C-alpha cells in the first residue's frame, strides 16, 4: 500500500491573498505531493493549506511553505481573533494510508529539527509528538500567545522549546509541530453580535469544562457575528451533528438562534457518512476517504 500522509500547516495570514498564494505556490515543482485545499479567514487573520503525498515529499513541501511564510509574515504587525504564536503557527501531520501515527511523529521531529537548524525558529512538539504531558494540548503550548511567549521563552524554563533557540524569531515567532489523528474544524455562527454569549456556549460544550468528549471550543467575533469555533479531535466520539445540536441547545437557553455553520478545511468522508447515518438513520452509504478520492481525481 502506498504511504500517504496529510499535512495542514496553519499560517498567521488571512487577509492578503497574494501572500497566501505565494505560500501555497511554494509546493510547486515538488514531486509526490498535491495541494488539496486552501482556506483563509480575514477576521481570524489565518489560513490553512492542506497537502497530501508521500512522507518525504510532504516533509519537503511543508518546509518550503514554512520558509516562504517566514519571509513574508511579520508577527510584530499581526493581529487577529485566533490564538497564535508564529507566522507558521501549527503544522500537524496526519496518517492517511500505509503509514502509522508513530511514523508521522518521526516526520514531525525531522521537520522540527530542520526548522530550528535552518531557519533559527523555536519549535514546540504537540499531540502525539509531545515530549511532555503539558504540551499535548495545543492550547497549553500557545498559552499567552505570541506576545506572552516572547517574554516567557527567555525567562521561564518551562517554556523552553523542544528544538531551536530560547528566543522567538524576530518576525516569525515560534512554531508548533506534531502528529495527530484527523481533526474536524467546525464553526457555528450565532444570530447575535454578543461575543460573551459565544464564549459561554463554548465553555458549555468543550470537553475540558465538562462538555462533549473530544471537543475544543472558543468564542470569537467574526464578521460582526458571535461564533463558536470548535475543533472535534475525535469525530467518532463527537461528530459535527452532535456538536451542532449541543451549540443550538445552549444558544436557545441563552435566547439566541443559530444563523449558520461551516466546516473549515477538509474532513474524512466517514465523518459525513456518520452524520447521515446517526442523524437521519439513513442506510446504504459507503465510507471512503475523501482525501484519497480527491487525490486521484
Q: Which DSSP category does 179 fall into?
A: E
Are 226 and 195 in contact by the 8 Å Cβ rule? The answer is: yes
Structure-block grid coordinates of residue 127: 499531540
Beta bridge partners of 226: 221
Q: Cell 518551562 belongs to which residue?
A: 158
Nearest C-alpha neighbor of 9 from the set 43, 31, 42, 38: 38
Alpha-helical regions (H) of the chain: 17-25, 55-72, 101-119, 138-141, 145-155, 195-205, 240-253, 269-280, 290-295
Domains and CATH numbers, the chain: 4-179 (3.30.990.10), 184-295 (3.30.70.670)
The three-class DSSP label of residue 127 is strand
- Distance, CA of 45 to CA of 60 (rounded, Å): 25
What percent of the chain has a predicted confidence (pLDDT) above 70? 93
Other C-beta atoms closer than 10 Å to the C-beta of 79 total 7
pLDDT at 293: 42
Q: What band does 23 get if pLDDT is binned at 50, 70 and 90?
A: very high
Enumerate residues 6+ apart whose C-beta is below 8 A from 144: 152
143 alpha carbon, distance to own chain's centre: 16
* pLDDT tens digits for range 161-175: 999 999 999 999 999
Active site residues: 82
* Interval 191-224: pLDDT, tens: 999 999 999 999 999 999 999 999 999 999 988 8
**What rounded mean pLDDT belongs to the chain?**
91
- Strand pairing class (88-97; 46-53): unpaired
C-alpha 202/C-alpha 110 separation (Å) is: 35
Enter the C-alpha cell of residue 35.
Answer: 495541494
Q: Is 225 helix (H, G, I), strand (E, B) or coil?
A: strand
- Choose among 174, 189, 50, 39: nearest CA to 116: 174
Confidence of residue 268 (pLDDT cuts 50, 70, 90): confident
Tell me which residue of 153, 56, 170 sits closest to 106, measured CA to CA: 56
Q: Which three cell numbers stand for residue 76?
A: 510584530
Query: Do 95 and 104 touch, CB atoms closer than 8 A?
Result: yes
**pLDDT tens track for 99-156:** 999 999 999 999 999 999 999 999 999 999 999 999 999 999 999 999 999 999 999 9
Grid cell locating 111: 521537520
Contact 32, 54 (CB under 8 A): yes
Bridge-based pairing state of the strands 33-41 and 123-127? unpaired
Q: For cell 503550548, what's the residue?
A: 141
Contacts of 265 (CB under 8 A, 6+ apart): 8, 37, 39, 48, 50, 185
Q: What is the mean pLDDT of residues 172-189?
A: 94
* pLDDT per residue as tens digits for the range 231-246: 998 888 999 999 999 9
Amino acid at each position: 500500500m502506498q504511504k500517504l500522509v496529510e499535512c495542514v500547516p496553519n499560517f498567521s495570514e488571512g487577509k492578503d491573498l497574494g501572500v497566501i498564494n505565494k505560500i501555497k505556490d511554494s509546493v510547486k515543482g515538488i514531486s509526490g505531493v498535491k495541494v488539496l485545499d486552501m482556506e483563509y479567514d480575514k477576521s481570524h487573520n489565518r489560513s490553512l493549506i492542506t497537502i497530501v503525498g508521500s512522507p518525504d515529499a510532504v516533509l519537503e513541501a511543508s518546509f518550503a511553505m514554512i520558509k516562504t511564510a517566514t519571509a513574508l509574515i511579520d508577527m510584530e504587525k499581526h493581529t487577529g481573533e485566533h490564538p497564535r504564536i508564529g507566522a507558521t503557527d501549527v503544522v500537524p501531520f496526519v496518517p492517511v494510508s500505509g503509514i502509522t501515527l508513530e511514523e508521522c511523529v518521526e516526520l514531525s521531529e525531522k521537520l522540527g529539527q530542520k526548522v530550528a537548524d535552518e531557519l533559527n525558529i523555536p519549535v514546540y512538539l504537540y499531540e502525539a509528538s509531545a515530549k511532555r504531558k503539558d504540551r499535548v494540548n495545543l492550547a497549553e503550548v500557545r498559552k499567552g500567545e505570541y506576545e506572552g511567549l516572547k517574554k516567557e521563552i527567555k525567562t521561564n524554563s518551562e517554556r523552553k522549546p523542544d528544538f531551536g533557540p530560547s528566543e522567538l524569531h524576530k518576525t516569525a515567532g515560534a512554531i508548533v509541530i506534531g502528529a495527530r489523528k484527523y481533526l474536524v474544524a467546525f464553526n457555528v455562527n450565532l444570530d447575535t453580535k454578543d461575543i460573551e454569549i459565544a464564549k459561554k456556549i463554548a465553555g458549555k460544550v468543550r470537553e475540558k469544562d465538562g462538555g462533549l468528549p473530544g471537543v475544543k471550543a472558543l468564542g470569537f467575533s467574526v464578521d460582526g457575528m458571535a461564533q463558536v469555533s470548535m475543533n472535534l479531535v475525535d469525530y467518532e466520539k463527537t461528530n459535527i451533528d452532535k456538536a451542532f445540536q449541543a451549540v443550538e441547545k445552549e444558544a436557545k437557553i441563552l435566547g439566541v438562534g443559530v444563523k449558520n455553520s461551516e466546516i473549515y478545511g477538509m474532513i474524512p468522508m466517514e465523518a459525513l457518512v456518520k452524520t447521515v447515518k446517526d442523524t437521519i438513520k439513513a442506510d446504504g452509504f459507503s465510507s471512503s476517504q475523501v482525501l484519497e478520492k480527491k487525490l486521484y481525481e
